[in-house]
Amino acid sequence: MNATLRQFRDFFVSLRLTVVLLALSIVLIFAATIAQVDIGVLGVQQRYFRTFFVLWKIGEVPVPVFPGGYFLGGLLFCNLIAAHLYRFKMTWRKTGIFLTHLGLILLLVGELLSGLLQDDSNMRLEEGETKNYSESYQYYELAITDTTSPDYDDVVVIPEKLLAKGDVIQHPKLPFRVVPKAYFTNVDLQRRTDAPNAPPSPATTGFGPNFIATPAPFDYKPDALNVPAAYIELAGAEGPIGTWLTTYLPPQFMTLPPQTFSYGGRSWKIALRPERSYKPFAVTLLKFSHDIYPGTDIPKNFSSRVKITTPDGRDDREVLIYMNNPLRYAGLTFFQASFDPNNDKATILQVVRNPGWRLPYVACVMMAVGLLVQFGIHLIGFFRKRRATAVPA
């Protein structure tokens, strides 16, 4: 083996590298924890952990200032595997260490998988309501619905990404072009009657002219309310039909009137809404219970009794979902996440798809057993030695 290659190998298998990487990860985690005050958990996940480098903007140029989570995690992973392959000896004394590190590898893989594959959304249901879709926490979509037929709706949805890009969209199902004039991730909504001197709205029709939407910075705080808004112009072959202000507020805050119009002899509806993901089954909320301790506002428990039905009738069952007792169904997990403070008949379920959810459980058992074996061997050795030295004394 030539010297460079050996150096390379020694670098990757060294314990020194392990210690340096671990120390760097402490710095990263600490900095990320502090940064959460300003940019929230989601911001931190994106900018510190699910990235190769932590970037700081100096002027307008992003400069990498510190290795990110993928970088450190990846190197640690290589270090771990390399060290074990290099030093691997199957002896009883090493089983503990081996098992612990195997568990750690599994944990890291599990985290990577859920980072890449996990999908969170929520489902708000009022008692008696049935839904076959869940809604995204983060992303929105523009839905243009042809409501002419009394029997069905014909919907075209445009993801928020395209709205932000601003390119003109032409779709075979729409007899008009969709021209996104402006898209904001967060606005302050105000009634025009409250600020009569404000400049005229870019919107020409719908409720838009009655509102003022002032762009605001996106708020990363965990309980912050961000109100997305888009000005959308629709234009037919003969010219513009109108410009709408589309926006979305969670129902517990305010329900905006639907915006409808007629064009080409058909009836249409335009709305901005949380991105939906449809399920091959429907969930009905039968009963939501929410208790507090008497004389306080401390919640004691929440639970939702729901019914799951599939169109083919294969499944039709009732389930009780409550704190720490989620429903796992069709690769999804339904959690009792929250409630609507203004409506005691509404539940908010969190819907999670995470194919790797079992890995941490396995990893936990492996690492626990591994450490117990390892430290157990140490402890027995220690007592044996003491007994041996104590006898002659």
Partner 1 sequence: MKKFLPLLTLVLALGYVGAVLVPPHNTGAFDLVGFGRLPVLVNGRIKPLDTVARTSLLIMQGRQAVSDPTLPEPMVASPTEWLADVLFAPAKADDYPTFRVSSAQSPELVELMGLTEEQTKISYKDASARVMAVADFLPRTRTRFSFNQLAPKLAELDKQYQLAEPVDAAKRTPFQREVLHLHESLVLYQRLQHSLVPPGEDGFLADLLNFQKQLPQGIDALRAKQENRPHDEALEKQMIEIGNQFMTLDRYAYVRAVPPAPDAKDQTAWSTTGAALLEAYGTGQVDPTALVYAALAQTWRQHQPEQFNHLVEESRKQLEKRFASQLAKSDFETKFNAAEPFYRSTVLYAFAFFVAIFSWLKWPDVLGRCAFYLVLVAFLTATAGIATRMWLEGRPPVTNLYSSALFVGWGAAGLCLILEQIYRNGIGSAAAGVVGFLTLLIAHHLSLSGDTLEMMRAVLDTNLWLATHVVIVVSGYAATFLSGFLALIYIFRGLFTRSLDKATADTLARMVYGIVCFATLCSLIGTILGGIWADQSWGRFWGWDPKENGALIIVIWNAIILHARWGGMVKQRGLMCLAVFGNIVTSWSWFGVNMLGIGLHSYGFMDEAFAWLVAFVVSQLAIIGLANLPLEKWRSFKAVVPRAAAPVAVR
Binding site for partner 1 (CB under 8 A): 14-16, 18-19, 22-23, 25-26, 29-30, 32-34, 36-37, 41, 44-45, 48-49, 107, 110-111, 114, 118, 120, 221-222, 292-296, 298-302, 323-326, 333, 335, 337, 350, 352, 354, 357, 360-361, 363-364, 367-368, 371-372, 375, 378-379, 382, 386
Distances (CA, A) of 95 to 104, 229, 370, 372: 14, 58, 7, 11
Nearer to partner 1, 34 or 168 (CB): 34
How near is the Cβ of 342 to partner 1 at its closest, in Å? 18
Contact of 184 with 229, CB cutoff 8 Å: yes
Distances (CA, A) of 47 to 67, 105, 120, 345: 11, 23, 19, 38
- From CA 72, how far away is CA 1, in angstroms rounded? 28
Nearer to partner 1, 172 or 294 (CB): 294
Question: Which residues make Cβ contacts (< 8 Å) with residue 282, sequence separation at least 6?
Answer: 130, 131, 132, 308, 309, 310, 311
- From CA 56, how far away is CA 325, in angstroms rounded? 41
Which phi and psi angles does 246 have, rounded to 5°?
A: -115, 135
Contact of 321 with 349, CB cutoff 8 Å: yes
Nearer to partner 1, 101 or 345 (CB): 101
Nearer to partner 1, 85 or 168 (CB): 85
How near is the Cβ of 189 to partner 1 at its closest, in Å? 21
Nearer to partner 1, 71 or 302 (CB): 302
How near is the Cβ of 15 to partner 1 at its closest, in Å? 3
Nearer to partner 1, 207 or 357 (CB): 357
How near is the Cβ of 358 to partner 1 at its closest, in Å? 10
Contact of 214 with 198, CB cutoff 8 Å: no
**Strands of the chain, DSSP E:** 53-58, 61-67, 119-126, 130-146, 154-159, 169-170, 177-184, 187-191, 211-215, 229-236, 239-247, 259-263, 266-292, 299-309, 316-322, 327-329, 332-340, 343-353
How near is the Cβ of 17 to partner 1 at its closest, in Å? 10
- From CA 246, how far away is CA 256, in angstroms rounded? 10
How near is the Cβ of 393 to partner 1 at its closest, in Å? 13
Contact of 32 with 49, CB cutoff 8 Å: yes
How near is the Cβ of 97 to partner 1 at its closest, in Å? 9
Nearer to partner 1, 161 or 358 (CB): 358
Closest CA to 117 of 375, 383, 353, 371: 353
How near is the Cβ of 321 to partner 1 at its closest, in Å? 11
Nearer to partner 1, 19 or 198 (CB): 19
CA angle 282, 288, 293 (to 5 degrees): 155
- From CA 95, how far away is CA 103, in angstroms rounded? 12
Nearer to partner 1, 181 or 353 (CB): 353
| Burial of 350 (C-beta count, 10 Å sphere; 0-12/13-18/19+) | middle
Nearer to partner 1, 34 or 195 (CB): 34
How near is the Cβ of 252 to partner 1 at its closest, in Å? 19
Contact of 318 with 286, CB cutoff 8 Å: yes
How near is the Cβ of 274 to partner 1 at its closest, in Å? 17
